[in-house]
Chains A and B, each alone.
Chain A
Amino acid sequence: MFSKMRSLNYAMAINEALFQSMAADDTVFLIGQGLKSPWYVGQTCTGLIEAFGANRVIDTPVSENAVTGAAVGASISGMKAIVVHPRVDFMLYALDPVINEAANWCYMNGGHCSVPVVIWGIINRGGEQGAQHSQSLQSVFAHIPGLKVVMPATPYDAKGLMVSAIKDPNPVIFMDDRWLYGIEDHVPEDLYEVEIGKAVIRNSGTDITVVASSYVASEAQYAAIELKSEGFSVEVVDLRTIKPLDTACIFDSVIKTGKLLIVDGGWRSFGVSAEVAALVAENCIKYMKVPIKRLALPDIPAPASRDLEKGYYIHRDTIKNAVMEILGG
């Protein structure tokens, strides 16, 4: 097999981004609670301690606030820290260093200090884990000036966006989803970047635009393929970066199709789907043939029961049904 066609799963793509970034730059280090344990972080940190030592790959006590602040502080003073939170839910203890400090630091210091930190929050849900082991809080972070938020949907983007996040001179929230960790796809072996702020068209189509990110973008892609065989031409815009949003890519697509479904793995109210809808309404309303539709989690905490989970989360069938409803299929 040719090396350029080499495949990796999503988790190992992140692992390779970390490995190659640390090998290329001595100032890069990884810190976080649980990174020694695949139970916490899947395969993403495999082999890193062995390669770079416990001085640069640091498993910590359960102290999200201080550890995240330490990552921010180290990054203010010449290091490039990646701090991992195996569940976004626990990262809420670290909102002060993320929002008050990292996000504001460059601005409130008149541009004299930058904070090249990566705050990596893993969405880990399903399996009856309930309300505090399930949350997708991208909208919370995307609301904050000074933060960038990326949510890769493919192994290729997971590696490229992690590399870009590490190289970016600003704080970047990197959010991934354990439901994607097993997906396998082509990942180049070299150290490459995926530009932050650029969406991608996953599936070209003319009947409707589906805007999504992370797991639901992956599911939208499967839905689009199934719908094609049923005669519908669905264009999937994978945002890849939640903030800054690639508005040009979204607008070009909806101007072409005149129909829009926005899918988000977070809650419906005041979230990513609302932001995209507002932007399209402000800028492209005259091109819209039907009202903008949104598909997101209901404003309800994540339930534990598997029976309730089935109706709560969004998968390819949910997306397919929502598209059919708009297209009148």
Chain B
Amino acid sequence: MKYENSFLLSLYRTMVRIRYCEESFVEPILNGSIRCPVHLYTGEEAIAAGVSANLNVDDKVFGNHRSHGHFLAKGGSVLQLVAEVFCRETGCSRGRGGSMHLVDPSVGFLGAAPIVAGTISLALGVALGNKIKGNKSVAVTYFGDGATGEGVLYEAMNFASIRKLPLLFVCENNYYATHMPLRETRNRESIYEIAIPFGIEACREDGNDVLKVYERAKEAVSYCRDGKGPFFLEFETYRLRGHVGPDDNIQGEHKDIRPQQEVDTWLKKDPILRFRKHLLDSKKASKAELDSIDREIEAEVEEAHQHAHESQAPDMKELGKYVFQNAVA
């Protein structure tokens, strides 16, 4: 496919924005100024960037525990993300949610939740609402390979299929459900095949190639938008940080889970380095242009940290606020 340079650079910008945000959290996690559990998206940026490039503001997205990238790619603000990870009143969830509960309805990011597979059915409901209203919007649910062990995924696939709902299932297969390798949780390595018996269109793609992600998602989103039913996309990827926090593997001293050779192989497939190389090799952008984007994003993220640092913590007097809508504080 032929792409406008501005489009290619916008994909690059989204991926770099996610990467800089994620890496900016490493030091504050290590020094204890960030306390909430943070699941970094480093290494998986191409998926959120490529999928979201096909969505408009009326398309609604739900995330999971590892959703900084989903939030930013859908248009969520860096300022609000960083402030939320620091649990400040200025965060997107006013410090009541933390890293795992990001939200911004104004951009169509309806929420995230760390209960594995927990938001699949919520996206199913948005798709059902779209169908009832008769609009052309699509709902997206992002989940990991671990969620394929949850029954609700299969219930949701069946229901979405029989009602032909505009629901895009996006499975980010990073080969590990916390500490459990995929091969220990499934007999078959391929995940997308689980959708086929339900009569759902499904395919598998390299999740570290942003243009391939974009093209697959484009086909899938159009399919959903045209009222043909749900679509299941499996993207193969790898987290370059641990399950939670910046460590290589799980947490603390658990460094023996993923073989170093495997980590090294995936480091070479870093989606940002690959796309940068593609842009330079195909002369779509100059090194100076890309470096300038990097510096601009770096400054944006630094400013967000400064903003979070200067922001107030939530007021103890408002501890009980927001339990109910319209409730008196």
* Known contacts A113-B105, A113-B111; A65/B129 CB under 8 A: no
Q: Which 5 A-B pairs have the closest CB atoms?
A: A69-B121, A73-B125, A110-B94, A73-B122, A66-B155
Within 8 Å of chain A (Cβ to Cβ): is B50?
Answer: no
A26 shortest CB reach to chain B, Å: 8
Within 8 Å of chain B (Cβ to Cβ): is A107?
Answer: yes
Q: List 24 A-B contacts (CB under 8 A).
A: A31-B128, A56-B132, A63-B156, A63-B159, A66-B156, A66-B158, A69-B152, A70-B159, A71-B125, A73-B62, A74-B125, A75-B125, A100-B115, A105-B111, A106-B324, A107-B322, A108-B97, A110-B91, A110-B103, A111-B322, A112-B104, A113-B110, A146-B323, A169-B325
B146 shortest CB reach to chain A, Å: 15
Residues of B155-172 at the interface with A, using a CB-CB cut-off of 8 Å, are: 155-156, 158-159, 162-163
* Known contacts A100-B118, A145-B323; A76/B125 CB under 8 A: yes
Question: Complex: how many Å from CA A84 to CA B152?
Answer: 18
Question: Complex: how many Å from CA A76 to CA B60?
Answer: 11
The answer on a CB contact under 8 Å between A74 and B93 is no
Within 8 Å of chain B (Cβ to Cβ): is A212?
Answer: no
Interface contacts (Cβ under 8 Å), in number, total 151
The answer on a CB contact under 8 Å between A114 and B325 is yes
The answer on a CB contact under 8 Å between A69 and B132 is no
Name the A residues within 8 Å of B323 (CB-CB).
Answer: 106-107, 145-146
B107 shortest CB reach to chain A, Å: 11
B112 shortest CB reach to chain A, Å: 9
Name the B residues within 8 Å of A107 (CB-CB).
Answer: 96, 322-323
Q: A67-B121, A70-B156, A96-B115 are in contact. List 19 more A-B contacts (CB 8 A).
A: A61-B155, A63-B158, A65-B151, A69-B152, A72-B121, A73-B126, A74-B129, A77-B110, A77-B125, A79-B125, A79-B132, A100-B118, A106-B324, A108-B96, A109-B96, A111-B94, A112-B94, A148-B324, A170-B324
Chain B residue with Cβ nearest A146: B323
B63 shortest CB reach to chain A, Å: 12
Chain A residue with Cβ nearest B62: A73
Chain A residue with Cβ nearest B98: A108
Within 8 Å of chain A (Cβ to Cβ): is B326?
Answer: yes
Task: Select one of B105, B128, B158 contacting A74, CB under 8 A.
Answer: B128
Within 8 Å of chain B (Cβ to Cβ): is A182?
Answer: no
Residues of A239-291 at the interface with B, using a CB-CB cut-off of 8 Å, are: none
Within 8 Å of chain A (Cβ to Cβ): is B95?
Answer: yes
Within 8 Å of chain B (Cβ to Cβ): is A3?
Answer: no
Question: Complex: how many Å from CA A49 to CA B123?
Answer: 24
Name the B residues within 8 Å of A145 (CB-CB).
Answer: 323
Name the A residues within 8 Å of B131 (CB-CB).
Answer: 55
The answer on a CB contact under 8 Å between A70 and B111 is no
Within 8 Å of chain A (Cβ to Cβ): is B49?
Answer: no
State the main secondary structure of chain B at its contact with A: mixed
Within 8 Å of chain B (Cβ to Cβ): is A154?
Answer: no
Question: Complex: how many Å from CA A78 to CA B94?
Answer: 22
Question: Complex: how many Å from CA A164 to CA B134?
Answer: 27
B313 shortest CB reach to chain A, Å: 13
Chain B residue with Cβ nearest A73: B125
Chain A residue with Cβ nearest B130: A77
The answer on a CB contact under 8 Å between B159 and A109 is no
The answer on a CB contact under 8 Å between A109 and B93 is yes
Question: Complex: how many Å from CA A76 to CA B121?
Answer: 12
Name the B residues within 8 Å of A111 (CB-CB).
Answer: 94, 321-322, 325
Task: Select one of B103, B105, B125, B132 contacting A55, CB under 8 A.
Answer: B132
Name the A residues within 8 Å of B126 (CB-CB).
Answer: 73-74, 76-77
Within 8 Å of chain B (Cβ to Cβ): is A60?
Answer: yes
Name the A residues within 8 Å of B79 (CB-CB).
Answer: none
Question: Complex: how many Å from CA A96 to CA B155?
Answer: 14
Q: Mark A89-106, 1 if CB is under 8 A from B, else 0.
A: 000000011001100011
Within 8 Å of chain B (Cβ to Cβ): is A81?
Answer: yes
Task: Select one of A61, A72, A170 contacting B158, CB under 8 A.
Answer: A61
Residues of A134-193 at the interface with B, using a CB-CB cut-off of 8 Å, are: 145-146, 148, 169-170
The answer on a CB contact under 8 Å between A109 and B152 is no
Name the B residues within 8 Å of A96 (CB-CB).
Answer: 115, 118, 152
Residues of B46-94 at the interface with A, using a CB-CB cut-off of 8 Å, are: 60, 62, 91-94
Question: Complex: how many Å from CA A70 to CA B163?
Answer: 12
Question: Complex: how many Å from CA A113 to CA B182?
Answer: 35
The answer on a CB contact under 8 Å between A70 and B152 is no
**Residue from the set B133, B139, B152, B156 with the largest chain A CB neighbour count within 10 Å:** B152
* Known contacts A55-B131, A110-B92; A70/B326 CB under 8 A: no
The answer on a CB contact under 8 Å between B121 and A68 is yes
The answer on a CB contact under 8 Å between A66 and B162 is no
Name the A residues within 8 Å of B101 (CB-CB).
Answer: 108-109
Within 8 Å of chain A (Cβ to Cβ): is B16?
Answer: no
The answer on a CB contact under 8 Å between A76 and B111 is yes
B279 shortest CB reach to chain A, Å: 36
Question: Complex: how many Å from CA A58 to CA B165?
Answer: 13
Within 8 Å of chain A (Cβ to Cβ): is B34?
Answer: no
B125 shortest CB reach to chain A, Å: 3
Within 8 Å of chain B (Cβ to Cβ): is A120?
Answer: no
Question: Complex: how many Å from CA A76 to CA B110?
Answer: 8
Q: Mark B23-56, 1 if CB is under 8 A from A, else 0.
A: 0000000000000000000000000000000000
